[in-house]
Amino acid sequence: MSWFLAFAGFAVLIILHELGHFMAAKATGMRVERFYLFFPPPIAKMKRGETEYGIGAIPLGGFVKITGMNPDEELPPEVASRGYYHQPVWKRIVVISAGPAMNLLVAFVILFALAFGVSEPTQNVGKIEAGSPAAKQLRAGDEVISVDGKEGDQVAIAEALNKHECKGEQTDGCTATTPAKLKIDRDGSTQVLTITPRYDEAVARQRLGFEYQTREVNPSPVEAARISADFMWLVASQTVSVIARLFDPEQREQISGVVGGYETTRQAIEFDSRRALTLIAVISLSLAIINLFPFLPLDGGHIFWSLVEKVRGKPVPFSVMERAGMVGFVLVLLLFFIGLTNDIDRLSGEGFNVR
C-alpha cells in the first residue's frame, strides 16, 4: 500500500502543478491543446472541447501544451489571437507562475494543518536509553542547562557534546577521551554531572543516549501560519543552496532525485503519516522553488524572458532564448543525473534511513 500511496502523492503534486498552469491559461483566454499526467506516449486519452486530456507512459512529470509556446510558430488565423506569445507579458507571467504557486499553496495548506498538532522540544530529559552513558546519572525530567558551560537549544547542546572525540577514528560505540560537564536542574536544585559521551554512527555524532521531552504548542491560526511560513522559508533557503552543493563533493552526495523522493516518501508513509505529509509538503515546496530558477525549460526561465521582453519593449528572438536555455537544460540534466546516481547508491547500499 505504501508504494501506491507514495506514487499517488507524487501524481497529485504533478497534477496540481499542471492544473495551476491549465486554470490560469483558461482564465486568461489562452488555447490549451493538451493536459497530461506523465509524458507520452499516451496510454489513455480523451478530448473535451479543444483540449486533449491524457495519461502518459513515462512517469517523470506532466505538462500542459498551450498553443503558440514557440514565438516563431505559424498559427492558423482562427487560433492565433489565443496563442501564448500573442498575449500581453502579464498574462504569460500569470500562467507560468500559476504552476509553482499551486505547489507553494499545497505546501502551505499541509504545513498549516499540521501546525495544529505540532509539538516543540523542551530542555527536559525524556526517554533514556538503557545501557547508555546518560542512564547512569540522568533522570527523566532533568532540565539540561549547559554542556561545558555552553548554553542554548538542543542544537547548541549537541554541538558542545560533539566536541568530545574518540581516540583515533570515530567508530560506532567508541567512548570519547574526555568527559562532558552537564549543568542540570533537578527538582529545583542545580547540579553538575560528569558524563562521557559515545559516538553514534547512525547520526554521526557524540551522544549521551537520551531523548528530550516535547510539549504541544496548540497555536492560534495566526501562529500556525507563522510556523508554516518559517518552515517554508527554511526549506526554501536549503533548496536554493542546491546549486552550490553541485560543486561540493560531500554536499553533492546528499542530493536526491525522483527515485529518492519517492522511496523516502514511501518509507515515511510506512513509519508515520504525519512525517509523510510533512515530506510531501517539502517536496511540493522544493518543486516550486526549483521551477522558479531563471533557466529554460523551467518555469522561471519563461518568467525571466517575459520580464526581459517587458524591459526592452520588444520580443526576445527565440534563437537567443534557445541558446541561453542550454544552461538550464544542462543544469536540469546534471541535477537529475546526480540525484539518480545517489539514489541508486543508497538503494544498493544502506538505504534512505528515514527512521
Report the CATH number at residue 138. Answer: 2.30.42.10
Report the alpha-carbon distance of residue 48 to residue 68 in Å, rounded. Answer: 20
Residue 23 within a domain:
no
Helix (H, G, I), strand (E, B) or coil at 274: helix
Residues 176 and 301 in one domain: no
Answer yes or no: do 210 and 222 share one domain: no
Domain boundary among 194, 216, 238: 216
Per the CB < 8 A criterion, the answer to whether 351 and 268 are in contact is no
The pLDDT value given to residue 102: 95
Any domain includes 278: yes
In a shared domain, residues 156 and 304: no
In a domain, 52, yes or no: no
Question: Is 290 part of a structural domain of the chain?
Answer: yes
Same domain, 229 and 147: no
If one counts the domains in the chain, the total is 2
A 10 A CB-CB count for 177 gives 11
Amino acid at position 11, single letter: A
Q: Does residue 187 share a domain with residue 299? A: no
345 and 239 in a common domain: yes
**Is the domain of 350 the same as that of 230?**
yes
Residues 239, 211 within the same domain: no
pLDDT of residue 355: 41
Residue 35 belongs to a domain? no
Q: Which residues of the chain have pLDDT under 70?
A: 1-8, 239, 241-272, 328, 332-355
Q: Of 199, 216, 233, at which residue does a domain stop? A: 216
Domain membership of residue 227 as a residue range: 91-118+218-355
- 103 and 140 both lie in a single domain: no
Q: What SS3 string covers 179-210? A: CEEEEEEECCEEEEEEECCEEECCCCEEECCE
Specify whether 223 is located in the same domain as 325.
yes
pLDDT for the residue 257: 44
Q: Is residue 186 part of a domain?
A: yes
- pLDDT of amino acid 253: 52
Quick one: DSSP state of residue 174? P
- Residue 204's nearest CA partner among 247, 255, 159, 152 is 159
Nearest to 339 by CA among 254, 266, 244, 262: 254
Task: Say yes or no: 349 and 244 in one domain.
Answer: yes
Judgement on whether residues 239 and 354 belong to the same structural domain of the protein: yes
Q: Point out the domain boundary residue: 186, 216, 246.
A: 216
**Which amino acid would we find at residue 157?**
I
